[in-house]
Amino acid sequence: MKNKIITKKKFLKINNKISHNLFKNNTYFKLYKVFLEKALKKRLAHQTLWFGEPILQLPQDLIIHQELIYQSKPDYFIEVGIAWSGSLLYYSSIFNIIGGKKIIGIDTYVPNEIVKKIKKFPKLKNKIELIRGYSTDLRVLKKIKLKTKGSKKVIVHLDSDHSHENVLNELKEFSKIIGKGSYLICGDTHVQFFNKNPHGNNKNYFKNNNPMTALKIFLKTKEGKKFRQDNTFQNRYFLTLNPFGILKKIKN
């Protein structure tokens, strides 16, 4: 007789034991840095497609975000920095299955081509709202508050201008619209681990001036202390562009 499959509870217990604090393991962390530095130079984070549209994310991070959506069941997912709209289609696909009101995409430049592509997906387009402008502009923030209609069940992913000053301002502003149990994702914190930006030298973010440095300051603020870093995902998935950047709000 064949052995029976182990229970899900035992399966997850084994996984959790193995992955516990894996990211802080010096041997594995060195592997992470070597792999990521080489892989990003080959544009690994730019290779993902969803319904044919590019997403500037590692597939592992997208699966993590799917877990966050499934766990917290948000009304709204706000993507700050939309690139070619692949991420909007990805998140709206999940909303279309499990529920959720709107995916809100914010960017300073939204080409008409993107609007046309979104319209090709009739079951998804009604889930997507686009806002043109700077993420911290008061007019943009006002529009967001109107579109979310007072709901605090919101996930925000910060993935636009990754300079220290901009990210710190985004963290301060967007943390206010998130309620207890929801998540704030600070993107591209990995840059702090490298002496040279693995995405190229022409960026306005680099070691000691990037999302990680902004995050460390934010967490010391009054609003930042309402959040807890959830590092379980980076231990389980390991390859991520957002280490220590997943924040769960633990009190309003």
Query: Which tokens belong to 238?
Result: 């390991």
- The answer to whether residue 241 sits within a structural domain is yes
Which residue has better confidence, 200 or 192?
A: 192
Domain CATH for 208 = 3.40.50.150
Number of structural domains found in the chain: 1
Per-residue pLDDT of 12-23, as tens digits, reads 999 999 999 999
- The answer to whether residue 148 sits within a structural domain is yes
User: Are 247 and 230 in contact, with CB atoms under 8 Å apart?
Assistant: yes
Q: Is the CA virtual torsion 148, 243, 217, 72 positive or negative?
A: positive
Average pLDDT score over the chain: 95
Examine the pLDDT at 2 and tell me if it is beyond 70: no
Q: 202 falls in which pLDDT band (50, 70, 90)?
A: confident
Looking at residue 182, its pLDDT comes to 98
- The answer to whether residue 3 sits within a structural domain is no
Give the position of tokens 């499959």: 5
- The answer to whether residue 1 sits within a structural domain is no
- The answer to whether residue 167 sits within a structural domain is yes
- The answer to whether residue 83 sits within a structural domain is yes
Looking at residue 144, its pLDDT comes to 96
Q: What percent of the chain has pLDDT over 90?
A: 90
Per-residue pLDDT of 28-80, as tens digits, reads 999 999 999 999 999 999 999 999 999 999 999 999 999 999 999 999 999 99
Q: Look up the pTM and report it.
A: 0.95
- The answer to whether residue 140 sits within a structural domain is yes
- The answer to whether residue 54 sits within a structural domain is yes
Task: Reduce the DSSP state of residue 98 to 3 states and report it.
Answer: helix
Looking at residue 111, its pLDDT comes to 86
DSSP element (H, E) containing 80: strand 76-80
Domain assignment of residue 172, given as a range: 9-249
Q: 84 falls in which pLDDT band (50, 70, 90)?
A: confident
Per-residue pLDDT of 101-144, as tens digits, reads 999 999 999 888 889 989 999 989 999 999 999 999 999 999 99
Give the position of tokens 């069941």: 73
Count CA within 13 A, CB hemisphere, residue 105: 26
Q: What percent of the chain has pLDDT over 70?
A: 99
